[in-house]
Amino acid sequence: MSDADSKRASGITVNTSNNPIAPNNDVFTDSNEVPGSSRWQNFKNSFKEALPETSDSYIDKTELKDYNELTDVEKAAFNSSKTQMKKDLTFRHLMMIVIGGALGTGLFVNSGGSLNKGGPASLVIGWVIIATMMFSTMVALGELCVTFPVTGGFTTYATRFVDPSFGFAMGWNYALQWLILLPLELVAAAITIKYWNHTIDSDAWVAIFYVFIFVLNMLDVKYYAESEVVLSLIKIIAAVGFFILGIVLICGGAPEGGYIGGKYWHDPGAFSHGFKGVCSVFVTAAFSFAGTELIAVMGSECSNPRETIPKAAKQTFWLITIIYVTMLTLIGCLVPYNDPRLLNSDNGDYASISPFVIAIQNGGIKGLPSLMNVIILLAVLSVANSSVYASSRVFASLADIGHAPKFFSYIDRKGRPLVATLFTLIFGLLSFIASSDKQDEVFTWLSALSGLSTIFAWLSICISHLRFRRALYVQGRSTDELTYVSQTGAWGSVYGIVLNVLVLMGQFWVALFPTNKADAKSFFEVFLSLAIFIVFYFGHKLWKRNWILFIRAKDMDIDTGRKHIDMELLKQEIIFEKQRLANSPVYYRLYKYWC
């Protein structure tokens, strides 16, 4: 690409006397180790701010003409197109981190409440329909991430392709979700321990788990990723183990209970609480998939986005969906939806209300309930671990694009967003109210601040994808220049928007009328986050005097953030890959298309 092409791609005037601009430079690889220095000195140096290498592919803001005269959107595009984070994440890491964020209490605990409210048939129907929405959303996100592997992922896309105010409100809401999740999960982990011991103060366990999470997130990202690989593998092995056990229990192979078959689908029945019960399952199913969008947050730390992100997006989806649908089908056969234990925890611990533990107890198997509780504990800690990673990266990206204080963008020489990570960990100290009798009330209202952030995130992904496709069309370009194209296309994003809106409507009904009477407290515990989103949205418009509803397609910058590539050469490579795939066996073509 020529210098002129570089200028056109970046949309920024550059002083080319020194360095040409690289819209997506990956040059911040400055090592913290200094030859001849002691380990202690190198350790201290690792916390210093990352320095760019002397490279022709890097351009600093000081070399830009009139940088301060750029619009907020242009600054966001430029700042997010560079990263000081290390590109150490592989396909294996991406898959396991997403699984770690998605397979948690939604499967092992909250599914029990959904079974009680909707019945076994509603479990399967709700999760399958939501899964179809998630596939279209994930492949749309994959297309954007491969094209623009920038910091912040979909928070940046919303700012660039929809509207800065929309991106600001959505980004903060999403960051708050993960920020609040850290103390919430640490408290949940401490409560889970009560299954074995009620005498030790919960704050003691919180301290142990807090130190564990702190250490993991202060190491290199690759060590954090490896810890998630281990934790996620344990959950996958547990799911496979329960699948085998569930078949044995259903067929009557347990010490107690006898043959079960489809008995509970007839008595008490396949559905509970009618259509309202189905709606409540849709809501729980949607939130259980929360964390799958983390693949966008990790895009800028991925070693080979073009190869790893599409595979990780699709294969992670299939793995999570298969685990959820299979496990919940078995649970619907093993536990009747009217079992009082599903919503009644005498000890206040997760094991008492987990349908998995209840199924094992019904079979009269000794010892396994404790093992399942260990799995639940590890699942909770895995989500807590992911929350620090996600929150710190989102805060750092918000700072990069001007939506958060600049100090959050500080990246040290290990590639860690140090200030954002420390801020998240300091907020996590709230978990030490675990011994307080006010903990439930505190965390209920903290969670309400960002209760719908996952739905907002998925909506923003689908809307951003549609706006990006519209910009390609209006500017006379096509998907031929994209290295990865969403299988469901623009219509898949339309489907995602419609289904997310339906989920919001169902959530509105269930939240306002948890019983036959309206309940304002129940409503605001869920929809307070919508009010916060609206305040952030209009507050940003007033602050920035931004009165546009959305960025016009003809004005969108769809080049900044891409790597320096020869577009014609890329198109030839894509044609060659398609021809090679066309000559492959049918089963291989189907596999590559869907997985």
The 3-state secondary structure of 107-152 reads: HHCHHHHHHHHHCHHHHHHHHHHHHHHHHHHHHHHHHHHHHCCCCC
C-alpha span between 433 and 443 (Å, rounded): 10
CATH fold for domain 81-514+545-564: Amino acid/polyamine transporter I (1.20.1740)
What are residue 571's phi and psi, to 5 degrees?
A: -60, -40
All structural domains of the chain with their residue ranges: 81-514+545-564
Are the beta carbons of 461 and 544 closer than 8 angstroms?
no
C-alpha span between 585 and 574 (Å, rounded): 19
Q: Is 54's pLDDT higher than 50?
A: no
C-alpha span between 235 and 293 (Å, rounded): 19
Confidence of residue 472 (pLDDT cuts 50, 70, 90): very high
Q: What DSSP character marks residue 257?
A: S
Q: Tell me the pLDDT tens digit for each residue of 338-376.
A: 888 887 544 445 556 788 888 888 888 888 888 888 888
Are the beta carbons of 331 and 315 closer than 8 angstroms?
no
Q: To 10 degrees, the CA torsion angle through 238, 242, 245, 251? A: -170
pLDDT at position 254, please? 82
Task: Output the DSSP codes for 60-74.
Answer: -GGGBTTGGGS-HHH
Alpha carbon 135 to its chain centroid, in Å, reads: 14
Q: Tell me the pLDDT tens digit for each residue of 219-246.
A: 877 788 888 888 888 888 888 998 999 9
pLDDT at position 52, please? 58
Tokens 């304002």 identify what position? Answer: 520
What are residue 405's phi and psi, to 5 degrees?
A: -50, 140
Return the amino acid letter for 271.
Answer: F
Are the beta carbons of 460 and 157 closer than 8 angstroms?
yes
Alpha carbon 104 to its chain centroid, in Å, reads: 13
For the beta carbon of residue 58, count every other beta carbon within 10 angstroms: 18
Tell me the mean pLDDT in the region 86-95. Answer: 76
Tell me the mean pLDDT in the region 292-302. Answer: 75
Q: Tell me the pLDDT tens digit for each residue of 125-148.
A: 888 888 889 899 989 998 888 888
